[in-house]
């Protein structure tokens, strides 16, 4: 069994769509980034890449490469899944925690789980999404940013 962890954080900004786990939220602010800035998928990509010892998201999808400008998290994750298959790894399970003061995440967790399970090719029971606030502490707590942490376990097909 292989394990990896991932973390991502992006500032909230006007004139951006808020996308988390591939789900668009009706919220007046979105996350600022080169791609869609989906911190859930970015943290998950880093966890998966780390578990397979394949580097990190910045190496595979650099913000200096125009090809990734505005890219959807689904696109990034599908590329990571392809890399895992080439490495002869399959996803066992993933766990993600979203750190945000607003918006409320609960009503969209199931939709995020469905997306992630489908994109990873695993059962929904192997995907966990949870959310917490930062109780007013740091940039997330002040409502300036949203972050996510992820852990993933992989099995090697030998």
pLDDT in tens, 109-158: 999 999 999 999 999 999 999 999 999 999 999 999 999 999 999 999 86
Structure tokens at 34: 């080169």
- In this prediction the pTM is 0.95
Cα atoms in the Cβ-side hemisphere of radius 13 Å centred on 56: 8
Domain parsing of the chain, residue ranges? 2-156
- Specify the fold of 2-156: 60s Ribosomal Protein L30; Chain: A; (3.30.1330)
Query: Are the C-beta atoms of residues 4 and 57 closer than 8 Å to each other?
Result: no
Out of 66-70, 93-97, 142-146, pick the least confident.
66-70
């Amino acid at each position: 069994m292989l394990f990896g962890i991932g973390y991502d954080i992006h500032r909230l900004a006007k004139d951006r769509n808020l996308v988390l786990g591939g789900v668009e939220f009706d919220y007046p602010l979105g996350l600022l980034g080169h791609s869609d800035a989906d911190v859930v998928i970015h943290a998950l990509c880093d966890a998966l890449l780390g578990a397979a010892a394949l580097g990190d998201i910045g190496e595979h999808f650099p913000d200096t490469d125009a090809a990734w400008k505005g890219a959807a998290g689904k696109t990034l994750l599908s590329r990571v899944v392809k890399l895992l298959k080439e490495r002869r790894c399959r996803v066992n399970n993933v766990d993600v925690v979203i750190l945000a003061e607003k918006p409320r995440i609960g009503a969209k967790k199931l939709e995020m789980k469905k997306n992630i399970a489908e994109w990873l090719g695993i059962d929904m029971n192997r995907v966990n999404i949870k959310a917490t606030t930062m109780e007013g502490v740091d940039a997330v707590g002040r409502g300036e940013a949203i972050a996510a942490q992820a852990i993933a376990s992989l099995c090697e097909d030998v």
